[in-house]
Chains A and B, each alone.
Chain A
Amino acid sequence: MKPRRIIEVGLPRLLAWCLLGFLFVPILVVIPVALTDRDYLSLPQDGVSMQHFAALADWSKGWLPSMLTSAGIALACAAIATALGVAFAVGAWAAGGWWPSLMRILLLSPMIVPPIIYAVGMVKLWARLSLLDSYTGVVLVHVVLALPLTVLAIGASLSNLDQRLVQAARSLGARPMTVFGKVILPNIVPGVAAGALLAFVASWDEITVTLFITGRAVVTLPRRIWTSIQDAVDPALAAIATVLLVVTVLALVARALIEHRQQRQKF
Chain B
Amino acid sequence: MRNFKTTALLLTVPASLVAIGLYAAPILQVLALSLTEPKFGLANYQSLFANAAVGRVVMTTLKVSVMTTVLTVLASYIVAFAIIHMSAGWRRISLFLVLVPFWISVLVRAFSWITILRRRGVLNSALMEMGVISTPLDLVYNLFGVTIGMIHYMMPFAILLLYANLSDIDRRIMQAARSLGARPATIFWRVWLPLSLPGIALATLFVFVFSLGFLVTPALLGAGKTLMIAEYISVQISSTSRWDLATSLSTMLLLVVGIIVFAAMRSPALRAAFVARPQQ
Contact = CB atoms under 8 A, between A and B. Distances in A.
A252 B97 CA distance: 10
A248 B104 contact: yes
A103 B103 contact: no
A226 B107 contact: yes
A125 interface: yes
B257 A112 contact: yes
Contacts of A26: 109, 112-113, 116, 152
Contacts of A156: 278-279
The B interface, classified by DSSP as helix, strand, loop or mixed, is helix
B161 interface: no
B100 A27 contact: yes
Most buried by A among B20, B104, B212: B104
A245 interface: yes
Contacts of B253: 114, 116-117
B24 interface: yes
The A interface, classified by DSSP as helix, strand, loop or mixed, is helix
A29 B257 contact: no
B98 to A, nearest CB: 6
A222 B107 contact: yes
Interface string B116-160: 101000100100000000000000000000000000100110000
A8 B15 contact: no
A71 interface: no
Nearest to B14: A84
A211 B12 CA distance: 30
Nearest to A147: B15
Interface residues of B, number: 84
Nearest to A170: B4
Nearest to A177: B7
Interface in A158-204: 159, 170, 176-177, 179-180, 201
Contacts of B191: none
For the complex of A and B, 5 pairs with smallest distance between CB atoms: A114-B213, A91-B11, A121-B26, A16-B82, A88-B15
Interface of A: 5, 8-9, 12-13, 15-17, 19-24, 26-27, 29-30, 33, 41, 43, 84-85, 87-88, 90-92, 94-95, 97, 99-100, 103, 106-107, 109-110, 112-125, 140-141, 143-144, 147, 151-152, 155-156, 159, 170, 176-177, 179-180, 201, 205, 207-208, 211-212, 222, 225-226, 229-230, 232, 237-238, 241, 244-245, 248-249, 251-252, 256
Given A94-B11, A159-B279, 15 more contacts: A13-B85, A27-B112, A29-B115, A91-B11, A95-B8, A99-B9, A113-B257, A114-B253, A115-B213, A118-B23, A124-B30, A207-B106, A229-B114, A241-B111, A241-B112
Interface of B: 3-5, 7-12, 14-16, 18-20, 22-27, 29-30, 33, 75, 78-79, 81-83, 85, 92, 94, 96-101, 103-116, 118, 122, 125, 152, 155-156, 184-185, 209, 212-216, 220, 229-230, 233-234, 237-238, 243, 246-247, 250, 253-254, 257, 261, 278-279
